[in-house]
Amino acid sequence: MSGLDLGQAPPPVEPWRFLRSSLIWGVAAGAWWVWQGEWALTSRWAPPTLVSVHAWVLGVLGNAMLGSLLQFLPVAANTRLSLPLPALWLHRGFNLGVMALLLFFVRPHTVLGISALLLLAGSLGVFALRSLLALHAVIPVDALQRGIAMSLWFLLATVVLGGASAMVLTGHLSIPLERIVNLHAALGLGGWCVGLLAAVAAVTVPMFQGARVLTRRAQRIWGNGWRAAMGLTVLAATARQADSPLMLGISLPCAGLACMILWMQVRSPHPRNLPLRLAWRLGAFFLWLPLLLPVVLPLMPVSATSPAASLVAGTAVVVAGLPLLVLGMQLEIVPFLAWIELRQRHPRGVRVPGVGRLLDSTHKQRLVLIHVAAAVAALIAAFAARTTVIAGVLIMLAYAGSLLRFGAVWRNARAWQPAPESPRSQ
């Protein structure tokens, strides 16, 4: 942890709220699949699928990434992040906005649409703008800060396009909906999610996994390739084939991130933390699938229920690949937050349990394995919708298990007291 400035860390409960909500939304997403069954993956334009996608992207991934950034920006990126409102209200506004949006997909109503737009645009917009201002004040700027800043710009673009889509659906704007939604999804996943994870991975993969460090040249190659892919995505939005920006904006950045992760792990100088390495390696495998779908799908038997490429690609990325990477981050962040809580509650000189004792490797490995099983089941459900209920049950078990384990880590840290000193002999 030598590169971390713990003196700048926010109160640990602030990022923990977001990380806990991410797991709760994971349970809810699994429950939605159980309730809806095959309807949850019928079509990417069907209301049940829209609810599922946004529960994953905003509820699971959004909460985890916002919570991680609250901790990561001041501690690892040397950025003094000052929000104009307490993080508690940012958390409430964001999650209320997610709930309003999901209700709007089920029961389209102008009030729900406007409420979701105001809450999500307000919370995400405030967070992104304040983070960008804080990053702009840092001198000199390194590759980590540039990568985070670029991903935040993509987040703002995603929010704007999402707001435009909501206004089209509520009848307040008349523009082609399909192209805006596809670009909104591509910039959100390929720009914001992949860009942020890549910037953070360049620091955390060597730190926590003992992997090789990316050279400046390798970071430039990745950054230029990522920006070029997102530029092509914007240009593809004008193409005749409406799904082209969606598939391009998802497959190329995801494959690039997967290559970067695997290259860093190969021939690691000091390999350690097997559960985290496993989660990221398998997550990288799922991120490769969208690029392979044009080869895989034509080999499948043709039937009336053949899956759409966009639906399978979205499942591989949103339900399997990215959540496994985020879970790997949580396996380190949650016990680290609990350790900071312990350190802040007890005076110097008191020896507190280390991060590894708060969540040991055995428990980490069990959590990773059940999440991998849930990810595989989700991908199978994308090809065979009749298995959606089974996948939903596994997803619920995986996220409920993580919620219980992480909650126990947090409670144990808050309840820990040093053993009483034995009286000295006279």
Q: Is the pLDDT of residue 425 over 50?
A: no
Q: Which of 112, 110, 7, 127 is nearest to 51 (CA)?
A: 112
Confidence band, pLDDT 50/70/90 cuts, at residue 239: low
CATH label of the domain that carries residue 94: 1.20.210.10
- Is residue 36 situated within a structural domain? yes
Q: Is the pLDDT of residue 337 over 80?
A: yes
Structure tokens at 165: 């889509």
**More reliable by pLDDT, 357 or 401:** 401
- Is residue 419 situated within a structural domain? no
What is residue 1's predicted lDDT score, i.e. its pLDDT? 39
**More reliable by pLDDT, 2 or 347:** 347
- Is residue 317 situated within a structural domain? yes
CA dihedral 356, 357, 360, 364 (to 10 degrees): -70
CA distance 163 to 172: 11
CA distance 86 to 377: 39
What is residue 304's predicted lDDT score, i.e. its pLDDT? 38
Q: Is the pLDDT of residue 402 over 50?
A: yes
- Is residue 422 situated within a structural domain? no
- Is residue 361 situated within a structural domain? yes
Structure tokens at 168: 């089209």
What is residue 240's predicted lDDT score, i.e. its pLDDT? 57
Quick check: 24 and 367 in contact, CB under 8 A? no
- Is residue 420 situated within a structural domain? no
pTM over 0.75: yes
Question: What total of structural domains would you count in the chain?
Answer: 1
pLDDT digits (tens, 9 = 90+) for 140-198: 667 788 889 999 999 999 999 998 888 887 777 777 788 888 889 889 999 999 999 99
Average pLDDT, the chain: 86
Using alpha carbons, list the distances in angstroms from residue 150 to 137, 190, 206, 221, 411: 15, 12, 22, 15, 36
What is residue 408's predicted lDDT score, i.e. its pLDDT? 93
**More reliable by pLDDT, 177 or 257:** 257
Q: Among 237-251, 268-282, 322-336, whose mean pLDDT is lowest? A: 237-251
Structure tokens at 26: 């994971």
Q: Among 164-173, 189-198, 217-226, 296-305, whose mean pLDDT is lowest? A: 296-305
Domain residues for the domain of 57 are 6-298+306-414
- Is residue 332 situated within a structural domain? yes
Q: Is the pLDDT of residue 285 over 60?
A: yes
- Is residue 421 situated within a structural domain? no
pLDDT digits (tens, 9 = 90+) for 82-100: 777 788 899 999 999 999 9
Q: Side chain identity at 242, as an amino acid letter?
A: A
What is residue 161's predicted lDDT score, i.e. its pLDDT? 92
Confidence band, pLDDT 50/70/90 cuts, at residue 4: low
Q: Among 216-220, 291-295, 418-422, whose mean pLDDT is lowest? A: 418-422
Quick check: 79 and 145 in contact, CB under 8 A? yes
